[in-house]
């Protein structure tokens, strides 16, 4: 079962779920959110959500490619997250009470970079991305 999951299109399900969740949240009117009164909490949440997006994108990458090209994999995931963040900010420009923000995109990028960099360094240390003999 685990081997079939590694190479199946089912690896995209977490990524599509996170993307759908981001789209859903971005589609809510601006007055529908009640965040705690903590300075820049929205930027922290953006970073966390985009770190989860990056993690799900890393999971979606075919394992053989990720093992062979870990730096390229992490860079492509960051570019993907930035592109999705740009589309998300554009989407918000059409929602009442919401406005696109470059600072939100910066927070999105930071979350994606931190997750992807962490994955890359773990990969370099041999903790993830191990090359295994496949029969």
Q: Model pTM greater than 0.75?
A: yes
Indicate if the pLDDT at residue 52 is higher than 60: yes
Indicate if the pLDDT at residue 119 is higher than 90: yes
Sequence-ordered list of residues with C-beta below 8 angstroms from that of 25, at least 6 positions apart, any chain: 49
pLDDT digits (tens, 9 = 90+) for 59-94: 999 988 998 999 999 999 999 999 999 999 999 999
Q: Which two tokens stand for residue 59?
A: 């999971």
Q: Which two tokens stand for residue 98?
A: 């919401």
Mean pLDDT of 15-32: 90
Contact 73, 61 (CB under 8 A): yes
């Amino acid at each position: 079962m685990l081997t079939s999951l590694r190479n199946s299109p089912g690896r995209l399900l977490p990524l599509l779920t996170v993307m759908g969740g981001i789209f859903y949240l971005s589609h809510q009117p601006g007055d529908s959110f009640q965040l705690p009164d903590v300075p820049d909490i929205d930027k922290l949440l953006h970073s966390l959500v985009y770190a989860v997006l990056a993690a799900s994108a890393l999971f979606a990458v075919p394992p053989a490619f990720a093992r062979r090209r870990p730096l390229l994999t992490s860079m492509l995931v960051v570019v993907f997250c930035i592109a999705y963040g740009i589309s998300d900010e554009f989407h918000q420009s059409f929602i009442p009470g919401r406005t696109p923000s470059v600072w939100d995109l910066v927070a999105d990028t930071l979350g994606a970079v931190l997750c992807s960099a962490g994955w890359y360094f773990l990969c370099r240390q041999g903790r993830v991305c191990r090359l295994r003999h496949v029969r």
